[in-house]
């Protein structure tokens, strides 16, 4: 063994005392930081025997990147430059400042979550958001659970256990993240009765399938795909009327569920929660963190007698939301009550940003990086998408920057951007990585510029 090089391995305390390394202590804990240092030195010691390098600066870089990787095993902020507004992998809808303020205020202390201040008795945690949801949708009553999948499960468990649910074959959907409607149906103890064909289902199909065993006529919104061409589905109003006539319940899993008409933002007209309630559907379920732009949750709105039955189901106890979700949802819904404030919800801020603003930012990034050594930067028009299992076929004109590496492949360039802090996630587009600025906050442009400027040039 070469004792000289072992002696020349820098001492552990030089690493643990280093300011950049020590900065990880509050995040990861002192012992995890020490473990990382020891692992890197261990590997260096082994490499030293075969003539590996032992320079402090080099080892310090290795420790820092090991620590950064360790930190990213938990949640860290990323710059979403994919142009997908509601990206399930990136946490779907960013929250409005008002929602975050409410979470911070109510989360840091006690609240009247389940306490009626008038009577001094136990109260219901759902009251306030329920009345907001009723005002916005025209529903008689509403309830909030953990997500839309939980909402569907609760409805089916409450009303269709051991009975039949009739669904159009064209609506037996799978949403990303392993939500398959037939599986949820089975789990709830309901029996699925598929009617119609993949592309065409008629009212008569529901009617023919109806029997004494039928509990629910169900519609499910194909949020993340489209059946196009020679198609027919039974609309919500006709299904609800038929269900009423035959004495069964009507239920719609609206999923992405918009609360306002998105056509005023240049998107296709999506049915809103209010539309489905007005069409007479008994219960409607939607997600809170898709087109609504709020926290992860599932909303069920509809007839008060049915909502009461849901509230009595013991399963609700397992699916209920906490005070932070309720605080964030309530604050988000309050922004809907004042039309001028809709733009304070990040999803709508992004939708409403004028194309010229994005082009100007792209130009500014190009100018600021004209001296970059190893990355070529050019402004480029792009197309953003709503995403999150919503509006699968519609795109929004956008702008961004196309990055090309003079030294490495597109994959390596994308990997370099992901390793940055904050990580920057773009999309590969031919020979470049495209960074779409519609989903990037203006304050994050600086991180993009810094990443471009400090990309290493190969020797």
Ligand X SMILES: *Cc1c(COP(=O)(O)O)cnc(C)c1O
Stretch that binds ligand X, among 78-86, 143-151, 407-415, 421-429 (CB under 6 A): 143-151
Asked if the peptide bond before residue 422 counts as cis, ω within 30 degrees of 0, the response is yes
Q: Does 217 bind ligand X (CB under 6 A)?
A: no
For residues 271 and 298, which CB has a smaller minimum distance to ligand X in the complex? 298
Q: Which two tokens stand for residue 409?
A: 């492949």
Q: Does 87 bind ligand X (CB under 6 A)?
A: no
- Contact 256/287 with Cβ under 8 angstroms? yes
Which of 170, 293, 387, 389 binds ligand X (CB under 6 A)? It is 389
On the CB side of 96, CA atoms within 13 Å amount to 26
Q: Does 147 bind ligand X (CB under 6 A)?
A: yes
Cα separation, 423 vs 415, in Å, equals 9
Q: Does 271 bind ligand X (CB under 6 A)?
A: no
Which of 81, 133, 149, 306 binds ligand X (CB under 6 A)? It is 149
For residues 220 and 369, which CB has a smaller minimum distance to ligand X in the complex? 220
Render 134-147 in DSSP notation, one character per residue. HHHH--SEEEEESS
Q: Does 298 bind ligand X (CB under 6 A)?
A: yes
What minimum distance in Å lies between the beta carbon of 22 and ligand X?
40
**Strand 191-195 to 164-168 pairing:** parallel
Beta-carbon count within 10 A of 323 CB: 17
Which of 158, 168, 256, 369 binds ligand X (CB under 6 A)? It is 256
Cβ partners under 8 Å of residue 186, min gap 6? 192
Cα separation, 67 vs 47, in Å, equals 20
347-386 footprint of ligand X as x/- string (CB under 6 A): ----------------------------------------
Q: Does 171 bind ligand X (CB under 6 A)?
A: no
The two most distant CA atoms of the chain are separated, in Å, by 91
**Strand 427-429 to 432-436 pairing:** antiparallel
Cα separation, 92 vs 101, in Å, equals 19
Q: Does 223 bind ligand X (CB under 6 A)?
A: yes
Stretch that binds ligand X, among 59-67, 220-228, 263-271, 435-443 (CB under 6 A): 220-228
Which of 157, 233, 253, 436 binds ligand X (CB under 6 A)? It is 253
Identify how many contiguous H helices and E strands the chain contains and give both numbers.
Answer: 20, 15
For residues 255 and 426, which CB has a smaller minimum distance to ligand X in the complex? 255
For residues 214 and 220, which CB has a smaller minimum distance to ligand X in the complex? 220
Which of 221, 303, 380, 420 binds ligand X (CB under 6 A)? It is 221
- Rg from Cα positions in the chain: 27
| Binding footprint of ligand X on the chain (CB under 6 A) | 147-149, 175, 179, 220-221, 223, 253, 255-256, 287, 298, 389
């Amino acid at each position: 063994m070469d004792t000289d090089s072992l002696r020349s391995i820098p001492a552990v305390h030089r690493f643990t005392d280093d300011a950049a390394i020590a900065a990880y202590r509050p995040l990861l804990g002192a012992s995890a930081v020490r473990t990382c240092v020891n692992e890197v030195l261990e590997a260096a010691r082994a490499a030293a025997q075969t003539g590996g390098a032992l320079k402090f600066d080099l080892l310090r870089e290795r420790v820092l990147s090991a620590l950064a990787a360790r930190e990213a095993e938990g949640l860290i902020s990323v710059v979403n430059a994919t142009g997908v507004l509601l990206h399930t992998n990136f946490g779907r809808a960013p929250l409005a400042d008002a929602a975050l303020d409410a979470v911070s205020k109510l989360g840091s202390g006690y609240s009247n979550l389940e306490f009626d201040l008038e009577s001094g008795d136990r109260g219901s945690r759902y009251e306030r958001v329920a009345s907001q949801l009723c005002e916005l949708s025209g529903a008689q009553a509403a309830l909030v659970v953990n997500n839309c999948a939980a909402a569907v499960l609760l409805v089916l468990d409450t009303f269709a256990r051991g009975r039949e649910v009739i669904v159009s074959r064209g609506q037996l959907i799978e949403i990303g993240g392993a939500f398959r409607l037939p599986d949820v149906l089975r789990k709830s103890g309901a029996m699925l009765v598929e009617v119609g064909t993949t592309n065409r289902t008629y009212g008569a199909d529901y009617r023919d399938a109806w029997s004494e065993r039928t509990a629910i006529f169900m519609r499910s919104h194909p949020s993340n795909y489209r059946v196009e061409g020679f198609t027919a589905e039974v609309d919500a109003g006709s299904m609800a009327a038929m269900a009423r006539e035959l004495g069964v319940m009507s239920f719609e899993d609206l999923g992405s569920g918009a609360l306002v008409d998105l056509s005023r933002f240049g998107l296709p007209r999506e049915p809103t929660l209010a539309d489905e309630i007005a069409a007479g559907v008994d219960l409607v379920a939607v997600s809170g963190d898709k087109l609504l732009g709020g926290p992860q949750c599932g909303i069920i709105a509809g007839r008060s007698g049915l909502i009461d039955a849901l509230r009595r189901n013991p399963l609700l106890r397992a699916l209920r939301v906490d005070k932070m979700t309720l605080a964030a949802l309530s604050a988000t819904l309050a922004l809907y009550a004042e039309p001028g404030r809709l733009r304070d919800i990040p999803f709508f801020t992004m939708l409403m940003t004028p194309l010229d603003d994005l082009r100007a930012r792209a130009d500014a990034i190009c100018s600021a990086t004209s001296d970059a050594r190893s990355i070529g930067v050019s402004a480029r028009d792009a197309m953003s998408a709503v995403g999150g299992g919503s509006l699968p076929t519609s795109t929004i004109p956008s702008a961004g920057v196309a990055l090309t590496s003079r030294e490495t492949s597109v994959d390596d360039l994308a990997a370099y951007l992901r390793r940055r802090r904050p990580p920057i996630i773009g999309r590969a587009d031919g020979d470049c990585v495209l960074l779409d600025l519609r989903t990037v906050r203006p304050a994050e442009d600086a991180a993009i510029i810094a990443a471009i400027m400090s990309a290493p040039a190969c020797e």
